[in-house]
Amino acid sequence: MIIVVIINLYIVRVVIDALGVEDYGIFNVVAGVITLLSVLSNVLSTATQRFYSISIGEKNKERFSNIFSASINIYFVLSIIILIIGETIGLWFVNTQLVMPEERMVAVNYIYQFSILSFIFTILQVPYLSAIITHEDVGVYAIINICEWMLKLISAFLLYIIPFDRLIIHGAFLFIIPLFVLISYVIISRKKYQECSYKKNTDKKIYKELISFSGWTLFGSLAGVGMNQVNTILVNVFFGPIVNASRAIALQINSALNSFCSNILIPLRPPMIKAYAGKDYEYLNKIFNLSNKFIYYILLMLCVPLMFEMDIILKLWLNVVDPHAILFSRLTLIYMLIMSLNNPISIIIQATGNVKEYHTTVEIFTLLCPLATYIMFNLGYPAHTTYVLMIIAAILSHVVRLIILKKHYNPFSYKQYIIFFLVPSIIITIITSAVDYFIYLNISNDFSRLALITALTILTVIFLVLTIGLSREERNILNSLLIKNKN
């Protein structure tokens, strides 16, 4: 996870330098159109993992095998549908609605075609990747993921060498790499897991369950994508590709932190769903409580130094001092800290299967965000307004998530959540920020200040978590683990 985040951030620097700011903005807008489609991949992965985990929790290998075969059929048909939509409505939108330099339209269309093919390879990975995650073989996932990002890093450096349009070459590499990943997952899954052997499946009930669950989860995911990718398109339409390039930098930070959270959740999702299927609610509550704290406090140690020193970080990282990029990036950090609280809640709701009410209620706020952004832009508000609206929507939707969680999972306790997690996390955030702000005001040397703020943030968060962030039981568990490792 750490290796991938570092590589990802460095790749952005190399690609921006190789492509230039305008071409980089163009690439992110066009790839954003495809992201509206590729959200399906994440949705189907979540659905497949959920049904796989329930099958393992119920110790039903035959059902696992049937779900695998049904998912293969569904994803193949879906890939064809997406290809048709992409080559009709999507192609029309790219060529007629996006604001692009006329001389770059050939490259734009190449990028778009490569993005569609990349999406198809990504969606076909889902049944195999989900099997690897559900079996908790995170080492296999980690190795392939690192290889994938190493290939992306190599391809970024090759942009300097290959004597051709760099934007087109960049798109071509990002089409080839998902094919390599797909082949790797297929080979490993078929060799390691007996259940991953395709067979004809005519059980209509399985198809109905998968499609229904995926449909409502898709609704939720599309709302999230709307707050990111549709807003990216709106920024392009109202402010042009230069401001879009600044937003693209903030989106890379968003993507890196989101990937960080997702990777933390990878080993947590299967045991949480298995615990629910086995009705082991005490164990499920322990994982839920620890996952909330672990995700939030790890992100806090990353986000607070970035918040204070974003101008220095962007200058060191990308040699960028653009005020838009700095402000967008800071607001992104606040948004990601709030959104990180939602992930463990979503896993339990997915385990219960009550995704319809959850997504139709929660995503009202996120669906309204692009509409509110459009209205505010028309009224003359600046580009960063979209982030303010996203933060407001994230706070409101989190309150609704907690209400629905209690409704469908009675062992959840508002009192325990507020007293043992929410209140301590707010106190720790305020104290850590105050310490860093004092350093920020009193040290003028940029690099000394950055190093000191980073070190103090980590030490302050660790100290406060150990004193007020963990429950007595969690501290006892930690102490016993430390003693065991010391011995």
- Check residue 423 and give its pLDDT: 93
Residue whose structure tokens are 């990718």:
229
Whether the CB-CB separation of 285 and 405 falls below 8 Å is answered with no
Closest CA to 131 of 77, 193, 191, 70: 193
Provide the token pair at 194: 């007996």
Give the separation between CA 241 and CA 164, rounded to whole angstroms.
22
Q: Which of these, 346, 221, 265, 345, lies nearest to 1 by C-alpha position?
A: 265
Rounded CA separation 254/166 (Å): 25
pLDDT of residue 375: 92
CA pair distance 475, 455, nearest whole angstrom: 23
* Distance in angstroms (rounded) separating the CA atoms of residues 416 and 430: 21
For tokens 């499609």, what's the residue? Answer: 211
Instruction: Return per-residue pLDDT of the chain as tens, 487 residues.
Output: 777 777 877 887 788 888 887 777 777 777 765 555 556 666 777 778 788 888 877 777 788 888 888 888 888 888 888 889 888 888 888 888 777 778 888 888 888 888 888 888 888 888 898 888 888 888 888 889 889 888 988 988 888 888 788 888 888 888 899 899 999 999 998 888 888 888 776 677 888 878 777 777 777 776 776 677 788 888 888 887 778 778 888 887 887 787 778 778 777 888 888 888 888 888 889 889 888 998 999 999 989 999 998 888 888 877 767 788 889 899 999 999 998 888 889 889 888 888 888 888 888 888 888 889 899 989 989 888 989 999 998 899 899 999 999 999 989 999 989 998 999 999 999 999 999 999 988 888 888 898 999 999 999 999 999 888 888 888 888 888 778 777 7
Contact in structure between 464 and 432 (CB atoms under 8 Å): yes
Other C-beta atoms lying within 10 Å of the C-beta of residue 197: 11
Distance CA 297, CA 209 (A): 36
Rounded CA gap, 437 and 9, in Å? 26
Task: Answer whether 119's CB lies under 8 Å from 37's CB.
Answer: yes
How far apart CA 228 and CA 231 sit, in angstroms, is: 5
Amino acid at 202: T
Which tokens belong to 182? Answer: 């797909």
d(CA 421, CA 428): 10
* Nearest of 45, 50, 46 to residue 276 by alpha carbon: 50
Residue with token string 């139709």: 360
Q: Which residue has the tokens 């350093």?
A: 439
> Which pLDDT score, from 0 to 100, does residue 463 have?
93
Structural domain harbouring 296 = 2-486
Q: Which two structure tokens, joined as six digits, stand for 223?
A: 């709302």
How far is Cα 159 from Cα 214, in angstroms, rounded to an integer?
38
Residue positions counted in the chain:
487
Tokens of 68: 């695998």
The span from the CA of 289 to the CA of 416, in Å, is 9
Residue 92 CB-density burial (10 A; 0-12 exposed, 13-18 middle, 19+ buried)? exposed
Report pLDDT for 40: 65
Q: How many structural domains is the chain composed of?
A: 1
CA separation, residue 244 to residues 99, 157, 366 (Å): 11, 24, 21
Nearest CA to 397 among 335, 353, 449? 335
- Sort 483 into a burial class: Cβ within 10 Å, 0-12 / 13-18 / 19+: exposed
Alpha-carbon Rg of the chain, whole angstroms?
23
